[in-house]
Amino acid sequence: MIRIVYGCYKPNTAALNRVLALVKGLDEEGIKGELVFVYPNKYASKVEVKYNNFTIKYLWGSHPIKNKMLKLLVSFIDIRNYIKKLEEGDRVLVMESLYLYQFLHLKKLKVYHERTEHPDVVKLSPALLQNIYLKECRKVDGMFVISTALQKYFRGMGIPKVGIVNMIVDSSRFDNLTKTPKREKYIAYCGTASNNKDGVDRLIKAFCIFNQRVSGYKLYIIGKAPTINEKASNLALVRELGIDKEVVFKGLIEAKKMPQILYDAEILALARPDSLQARCGFPTKLGEYLLTGNPVVLTAVGDIPKFLIHKETALLSEPDNIEAFANNLMWVAEHKEEAKEIGAMGRKLALNEFNYREESKKIIELINEDVDNI
C-alpha cells in the first residue's frame, strides 16, 4: 500500500488535478493506496470520484476550523496523530512541503516527496522553515520532480533517487467534443493570468501586432489575475494599445466548461517569459491545450523544447520575443490546413508523453525498487 498525503483539497486547481490523475493511474494499475487530505478548503469540499483500490481519508473533523492560522496549526497535530497509527516501513508520498519533517522523524517510514516548483520560487515562510525543509529533503528515500532542471537541482543536494514524472492530464475530459456552431474566432489563454509567470502582458502585446495584420479574431484571457494591481495593469495596457474591444477578460470558468472553451478556440497561446519558474516547472495547461487538437503557439522555455518541435507539434518562439510570437500567431491564421495537422500531431504527442497511467508507473517503479532492496 502507498499513502499519498496532500495538504488542502481545493477543487479544479492544477496541483490537485495532477494528484488525482496520478491516483487514477495507480488505481487502474491495481495499486492499493490511501489518499490523505490534511485540512479543508472553506467549503470542506470532498473528492467525488470513487476508486477501486484507493480510499480517501480526511484528517479534519466534522466541524472544520475556518480561521486560516488556527487551521494550519491544528493540521500539524492531525498529521502527528495520523503518523502514530502507521506501521514502520509504510510507504508514504508527501506532496506538501510543510509536513515533510514530521513524516521523516515521528516514525521510521519509507518517505518519498514530490516537488513541481523550484524551492526559490515557492518558499516556505519564515526562512527558518525553508532551511529546515531543504535539509529534510536530503533524508527522503526518493523524490519525484517535473523537469530535468529540478532533477539536476535536487541531485546536486545529494539525493540519488530523483525521478521525473512528466506533466499529466486526464485525456478523457477532451473526448467526444464537437465545435460549437456560430462561435466567434478567438485565441485563448487559460490559467492564473500572471505577467511574471505566464507573460500575459507579452501575449497582449503580441496579439496587438497580430490584430493589426489579421482581422476578425479576439483574445480570450481565461482566469483570474494574481493581484489587483496586475489586473489593473493589463486592463490599462489593452486600452493603451486600443484593443479593449478585441481582448476579453473571461475571468474564472468552471472546470467542466474549460475543455469546450479551449476546443472552440482557433489558436491556444502561452507566452511564458524566461524565468526560474519556467525553467524548472512545466505548465499543466499545455497538456490541455494539446489535447484539443488545436494549434498551440508558445515560447520555448524549460523542458518544452524536449517534447515539442517547431511546426511539427506546435509553434515555438524564443521567450520575450514579442514580434516572433506574433509572427507565429499570424502563420497559423494564414496556414490553417498545415496548422490543423500540427494540432493533430500535438494531440498525439500529449496522449503518449503526458499519459497519466504511464507516468504513474514511474512512481511504482521507483518505490518498488526500494522495496525489492529491503
Per-residue pLDDT reduced to its tens digit, 258-304: 999 999 999 999 999 999 999 999 998 999 999 999 999 999 999 99
Tell me if domain 2-168+355-372 and domain 171-353 are identical in fold. Answer: yes
366 Ramachandran zone, left/alpha/beta (phi>0; psi -120 to 50): alpha
- Whether the CB-CB separation of 162 and 145 falls below 8 Å is answered with yes
Nearest to 112 by CA among 210, 2, 200: 2
Cell numbers describing residue 96? 506538501
Omega of the bond leading into 64 within 30 degrees of 0 (cis): no
Query: Which pLDDT value is given to residue 177?
Result: 95
Q: What is the DSSP string of 190-240?
A: ESS--HHHH-HHHHHHHHHHHHHHS-S-EEEEEB--SSHHHHHHHHHHHHH
Question: Which of these ranges, 38-52, 110-124, 144-158, has the smallest mean pLDDT?
Answer: 38-52
Can you tell me the mean pLDDT for 12-27?
A: 90
Query: Which pLDDT value is given to residue 17?
Result: 86
Query: Which pLDDT value is given to residue 43?
Result: 85
The gap from C-alpha 240 to its chain's centroid, in whole angstroms, comes to 32
CA distance 337 to 332: 9
Cell numbers describing residue 81? 496523530
Express each pLDDT in 107-145 by its tens digit. 999 999 999 999 999 998 888 889 999 999 999 999 999
CA atoms within 13 A on the CB side of 180: 13
Q: Which pTM was predicted? A: 0.90
- Terminus-to-terminus CA distance in the chain, angstroms? 16
**Options 3.40.50.2000, 3.40.718.10, 3.40.50.300, 3.40.640.10; CATH of 2-168+355-372:** 3.40.50.2000
- Whether the CB-CB separation of 109 and 369 falls below 8 Å is answered with no
Reported as a pLDDT band with limits 50, 70 and 90, residue 82 is very high
Q: What are the sequence ranges of the domains in the chain?
A: 2-168+355-372, 171-353
Reported as a pLDDT band with limits 50, 70 and 90, residue 344 is very high
pLDDT more than 90, % of the chain: 82
55 Ramachandran zone, left/alpha/beta (phi>0; psi -120 to 50): beta
Q: C-alpha angle with apex 15: 289 to 77, nearest 5 degrees?
A: 175
Q: How far is CA 129 from CA 41, 98, 101, 126, in A?
A: 23, 8, 10, 6
Average pLDDT, the chain: 93
Highest CATH level, class, for 171-353: alpha beta
- Cβ atoms within 10 A of the Cβ of 178, count? 8
In this predicted structure, the answer to whether residue 64 has a pLDDT above a threshold of 80 is no
Query: Which pLDDT value is given to residue 72?
Result: 84
The gap from C-alpha 274 to its chain's centroid, in whole angstroms, comes to 17
CA distance 334 to 339: 9
- Whether the CB-CB separation of 156 and 163 falls below 8 Å is answered with no
In this predicted structure, the answer to whether residue 371 has a pLDDT above a threshold of 50 is no
Instruction: Report helix angle 200-213 to 228-241, nearest 10.
Output: 20
Q: Report which DSSP code applies to 310.
A: B
In this predicted structure, the answer to whether residue 10 has a pLDDT above a threshold of 80 is yes
